[in-house]
Amino acid sequence: MRKTIVAGNWKMNASKESVNSLIKGILSGMSDVSSDVIVCAPFPYLSQVESLIINSDLMLGAQNLNVNLKGAFTGEVSADMIKDFGAQHVIVGHSERRSLYGETSTVVAEKTKAAIDAGLTPLLCVGESLEERESGRTEAVVAEQLNAVISLLGIDAFDGIIIAYEPVWAIGTGLTASPEQAQSVHLFIRKLLADSSERVAQKTPILYGGSMNAGNAADLISCADIDGGLIGGAALKADDFLQICKAG
Ligand code: PEP
């Protein structure tokens, strides 16, 4: 039985004040939540969140990492630095990083490796654009993104990976995939993993992301192969985020 996981991706939205009230708001409602809950904060706020969540069940993640361990990489942040601030998770392969910063599936696989090597759990994002969906290439695109990681790391690496299926056309647009559309891709992903290992396929959490909110979360999470959500906009309001956390 896979546990429901809900992760918030704050993207580049935070201030010391907003982080304080958002985390305090989430913590105040956590006693009714049975899902695992992760907040992925921008780098400068990791330390603040780390202090606020001490002795709670809330977990911390970052939104990106550099593939290198240390050295002359001005402006970059390593997996060890992320761990140093109490984070256990890191998002890799978010569509904004793939499209705005040119991260190929090979780079995403290398980042996944860097995270795992450091003891972090990657939240590996995959998903197709609207054009790719409309031209019938959803499964081919998602397969290419996953196979890059399987080729580099092997199937057993997925013991330490959380997958997030995020159709690009649904991210930040208010256009949520229907439960049927999402379930169909989630099942495809599980079958792709099962081609290499049935055990890994049954164990790996596959979250849905893309305009998930308090109103649609329960219908999505109740699908057989949807194990939770990766939440952008709705993760910035404690009440909305908590409602999603309680939907699992
Ligand atoms: C995301 O950025 O991962 C995301 C799912 O965003 P939103 O919920 O705002 O669509």
Read off the pLDDT of residues 122-146 as tens digits, 9 standing for 90 and up: 999 999 999 999 999 999 999 999 9
Tens of pLDDT, residue by residue over 217-245, are: 999 999 999 999 999 999 999 999 999 99
Asked if pLDDT for residue 248 goes beyond 90, the answer is no
197 neighbors 176 (Cβ within 8 angstroms): no
Mean of pLDDT values over 144-152: 98
Provide the pLDDT confidence category of residue 175 given band limits of 50, 70 and 90: very high
The catalytic residue among 96, 103, 110, 166 is 166
**Is the CB of residue 212 below 6 angstroms from any atom belonging to ligand 1?**
yes
- 219 Cβ partners below 8 Å, 6+ apart? 179
Nearest CA to ligand 1 atom 1: 232
Q: How far is the CA of 158 from the centre of ligand 1 (A)?
A: 23
Asked if pLDDT for residue 161 goes beyond 90, the answer is yes
Mutual orientation of helices 16-29 and 238-246 as an angle, nearest 10°? 30
Type of residue at 183:
Q
Tens of pLDDT, residue by residue over 70-97, are: 999 999 999 999 999 999 999 999 999 9
**Is the CB of residue 26 below 6 angstroms from any atom belonging to ligand 1?**
no
To the nearest whole number, what is the mean pLDDT of the chain?
98
pTM, rounded to two decimals: 0.98
The residue among 58, 117, 114, 125 whose CA lies nearest residue 87 is 58
Mean of pLDDT values over 111-118: 98
User: In the numeric block, which tokens belong to residue 202?
Assistant: 């049954």
**Is the CB of residue 9 below 6 angstroms from any atom belonging to ligand 1?**
yes
State residue 150's pLDDT score.
Answer: 98
139 neighbors 185 (Cβ within 8 angstroms): yes
Asked if pLDDT for residue 158 goes beyond 90, the answer is yes
The catalytic residue among 89, 94, 110, 186 is 94
Nearest CA to ligand 1 atom 3: 232
Among this protein's residues, is 186 annotated catalytic?
A: no
Nearest CA to ligand 1 atom 4: 232
**What whole-number distance in Å separates Cα of residue 126 and Cα of residue 182?**
12
User: In the numeric block, which tokens belong to residue 66?
Assistant: 């550099």
The residue among 23, 34, 37 whose CA lies nearest residue 246 is 34
Mean of pLDDT values over 40-66: 98
Half-sphere exposure of 12 (CA within 13 A, CB side): 2
**What whole-number distance in Å separates Cα of residue 10 and Cα of residue 248?**
20
State residue 1's pLDDT score.
Answer: 79
